[in-house]
Structure formats: C-alpha cells, structure tokens
Structure 1
Amino acid sequence: MPIEVQHRQSGDPTWADSYTKLLAFNQTQYDRVLSLDSDSTVLQHMDELFLLPPCPVAMPRAYWLDKPYLSSQLVLIQPSVEEFKRVKDAIDAAAHSDFDMEIVNNLYGKDCMIIPHRRYNLLTGEFRSKGQHITYIGNEYEPWDPEKMLKEAKFLHFSDWPMPKPWLPAPDNTRSDVQPKCDTDSQGQEDCRARDLWLGFYSEFKERRQASRHEHSYRSICANNVLLEYLRHRT
C-alpha cells in the first residue's frame, strides 16, 4: 500500500523520514501490523507475534543501551483511532531531537508489552563487538557462537556506524576498518566466522535489493522503514 513519506526538515537527516513508520498506528483496516525497518533482513517468519495477547503496542528492548529503552526497528501495533491520535499529538509536540524512537518511548516506555530481543532484534554490530555479549545472550554462562546466534535469529537489523545504510555504497576502507576482526579459537586456530557472516549480510542485502527492482519479488517502501513486507523463508 503506497503511503506518503513523513519527512522532517530539521534534525539529523539519517532519521528525517523516521516518523513514517508511525503511520502504522492508523492502519485500522488491519487488526495488527508488524512494522519493520527497511535496513533489516527477515531471516525467518514471525507469524507467532500476531498471536500475542491484545495490546496497543509490543516492542523489544534496545539491549545495547545502558538504560532501559524500547527499540523501534520492530514494532507490533494494534492500530486504532485513539492510539494514532496519541502518536500524532506526540509528533506535533516533538522536540528538535525527538524522532520515532523517542516518540514511542515517551508514550509506551512504561507499559509496553516486551518482545524478547534475542531472536527478534539481533544487530549486525553484535558480530563486531569486541567485548562480551552478555546483554544480547541474556546470561553469563553461554558462549558467543556467531553461527548459532544467527541460526536462531528471526530478524537482523543493520547497525554498524560509520557504515552507511546497507543500500548505500560504502568506501572500501570504511568496510575493511569496520568489519569484525578474526578471533583465535581454543585450538589456536583462526576463527573468522563472525567476519564472513557480517560481510555476507551486506552482500545478500545488496543482491536482494537488486533482485526486487527487476523481479518485483516483494513490495517495499523506499524510506527508512516499511509498514508491511511479505515475509519469506531464507533457503
């Protein structure tokens, strides 16, 4: 369904169109809408989210932040006239530095249904992390295994500053500087799995983007987010 991009002239241009996703609160012809940022990859279907108990909105936590905060790259919404009015009023009153993430946290930060971030909110930047992965894994005893974490994940969000959005070209030196470093495993062998997976995220996204232009294999809105996307299984 074509929509009008909600562009904000002031503020960081990276997030200038981020209000667009909030239009999902007005999609009252649907019982529920799953809003997904377009700088992401759907790894497995997430149909089970539509079976969660009724609630205005459900989101995962931004696990990479020190303070409790909701992440808006995946949002399960129960559209209604009343909730959209709340969102619209918040947008109209937003400060210069307030974008979609600030809006949803101000409105729902204390009473939002929480979707587990593990599986449903994996960042590409997690594969670059040089420290521990406790905040993503959720415990101190489970080792970080990049292949295992990717296999269980259902939604992957690109977040690798200073890398640009995955549909934009990146200078070779930026990519080589940012990409994960190889580790040494317990046997003393070089382990480059995280690097290889990370590079694959970007190459696969590029291939999928190019294919969608020519084959029209799925519909997407060329903004910072999509309201609806046909979910597909990775083979």
Structure 2
Amino acid sequence: YIRKNELDAAQRQLEKAFAANSRYAPAYDMMGVLLQQEGSRLNLEKADAYFKKAIALDGDFEQARNNYGVYLSQMKRYSEAAQQFEIAGSALGYEGRISALENLGRTYLQLNDSAAAAKAFLRALDGNRNSLVAHIELVDLLLAQNRVQQAQRLYDETLILVQGQGISPRLLLQGIKLAEAQGDSNQRQQLSRQLLSAYPLSDEAKQLKTWLNNPEAPWQ
C-alpha cells in the first residue's frame, strides 16, 4: 500500500497489526515510513517516535535503523543519521547493508567530511563492486584530491555499469573533468557538446558554461 501511495489503506492495515501485537517492531517501522511519506509537518514529527519504538523493541532490526537514518537525513539531523547508517552498514548478513553504507557516505558528504565519506563508499564497494552510487561519488572525491588515474579507473567501471541505460549529466561532467585533467581536448570537447546538447538546462551544463567562460578557475 505504501509503495502504491495508498496511505490511508496502509494506515488501516498497520492499525490491525498493532491490535494483533502491540510489540511488533516492523509495524512501528512501517508506520514511521508511512508518516514520513505523507510528509506534513505534524506527521513528520510523529514519525520519529515510531522509528525509535521499532528500534527499542528490536535493537537488531537493521532495516528500521536504515529507514530511521533516511528520515533523520531528510530532517537534516545528519550526525544522528550517520550513527544509524553505521550500525546498519556494519551488520553482516543484512541484505540492505550496502545501501546503508551508500547512505552513510552521502550523509558524511552533507557533514563535509570527505575522508569519512570516502571510507564509507569504499566499504560499499568492498561489499558490492557494482555499487553505482559508490562509483559515482568516489570519482568526484578522487578528482577533488587530484587522484586522476584512480578516478579514471573507477569512471571506466562506472560506464560499464550503466551500459545501455544512457549517460547522466553528472557522468558527462565527470568525463569532461577527467579529460581536461589529462590534457585530452578532443574528448573534453566531444563530451561538452554532448552535455550541452542533451542536458542544456542541467546544473552540470551550467557548471560547464561557467568553467568555459573562465577555464583558469576551479570547478564549482
């Protein structure tokens, strides 16, 4: 019901679950997700208590911790979110562990802690070499450190992962930056034309135009 955005029906089913077992942790977790998805200020405030109750009832309920972390991130409570993602991302056997580590890395980016973010994304790659999120984020982090060859290797892997899906403006801009860093003007020009043609209104196209007007300036 929640996936279909049938929130009233989901609410009724969860109330039945509470009536049958008032200590059923997954019901509290799903109620938190439901209230978060509805999105009003009042329901967002209520969601916090449901996530906490789910975790209090079952401290090993990693999915609830991951969901709570997503909620905390939405509320911009990033330090608290990182704690939940760290616990979920360290739980071997939890099928959402890689997603939790990806979320952990993104949360550290919000906290402006690039080193911790890189560690989280590398842990995600260790667990699943096909983590697209980790690949894309690490390319940017490596470029920021001027570790161009390592960034290029990960970028090449990323292109293989997205084969047949089309290339996003973010990947095109990464390719442009890599080409520029390695003095490949032909590749840079080709990818620049592709970005400006396919995604002229994207933030990446705006960044490219700004840089083209002042190539000596650092990328923003």
Same fold (TM over 0.5): no
TM-score normalised by structure 1 residue count: 0.27
TM-score normalised by structure 2 residue count: 0.28
Instruction: Pick the structure with greater CA Rg.
Output: 2
Give the helix-richer structure, 1 or 2: 2
Give the strand-richer structure, 1 or 2: 1
